[in-house]
Amino acid sequence: MNARRSFWLKQLHTWHWISAAISLVGMMLFAITGITLNHAASIPSTPVVKETLAQIPTPLVRRLAEFPEETTDPVPDYMVRWASEILSVNIADKPTETTAEEIYVALPMPGGDAWMTMDRTSGEVVYEKTTRGAISYLNDLHKGRNSGTVWFWFIDVFAVACVIFTLTGLALVWLHARSRPSSWPLVGLGLLIPVVIALIFIH
């Protein structure tokens, strides 16, 4: 019995500290942004808007005539390269709202927003970027808003690490509960407090 208990204690401690190490920074980030999101209305944020004008070279304007007049397809590769070189903007694989007059590309991002329009006749390009500061950026990361595929998967991996951390913590509480009488009352309190608040104060 003692050998089995020793085995499980060793395994649980190992998984507990590994999951804690993996989720430590992410848990801190999500805890802090949980506070900033809860007080978002009280935290001042002044949007900064930057507008950039550019001109598509005439040969590329002519090539755009081959692009469909009504589509949501991304712009051709030559326009992706031009936008990257001239404006340092990545519009690859971004859906468009294309008409016979212009091509509009929405470029949402964490902590802000951006968009680009391309006049199909004159070749004039307007690129506008709005940023709302570091706190807004971190809040959007918390929500996974416009954060991309890699961050999407990071949240899933982080969540699994947190689940392992809490379950191994619960198992360690169970193994140590006999020598620590306050263990289960504290766990029960952790469950009771949110349940009572939800039942009484949330309507």
The DSSP result for 69-122, as a single string, is SSB-PPPPHHHHHHHHHHH----TT--EEE-SSEEEEE--BTTEEEEEEEETTT
In tens, the pLDDT along 44-96 reads 888 999 999 999 999 999 999 999 999 999 999 999 999 999 999 999 999 99
- What's the mean pLDDT when you consider all of the chain? 93
pLDDT of residue 54: 97
Rounded Cα distance between 156 and 128, Å, is 32
Q: What is the pTM of this model?
A: 0.81
Rounded Cα distance between 89 and 79, Å, is 11
Average pLDDT rounded to a whole number, residues 96-109: 96
Rounded Cα distance between 99 and 162, Å, is 47
**68 Cα distance to chain centroid:** 33
Inform me whether the pLDDT recorded for 99 exceeds 80. Answer: yes
Rounded Cα distance between 26 and 47, Å, is 26
Inform me whether the pLDDT recorded for 127 exceeds 80. Answer: yes
pLDDT of residue 1: 60
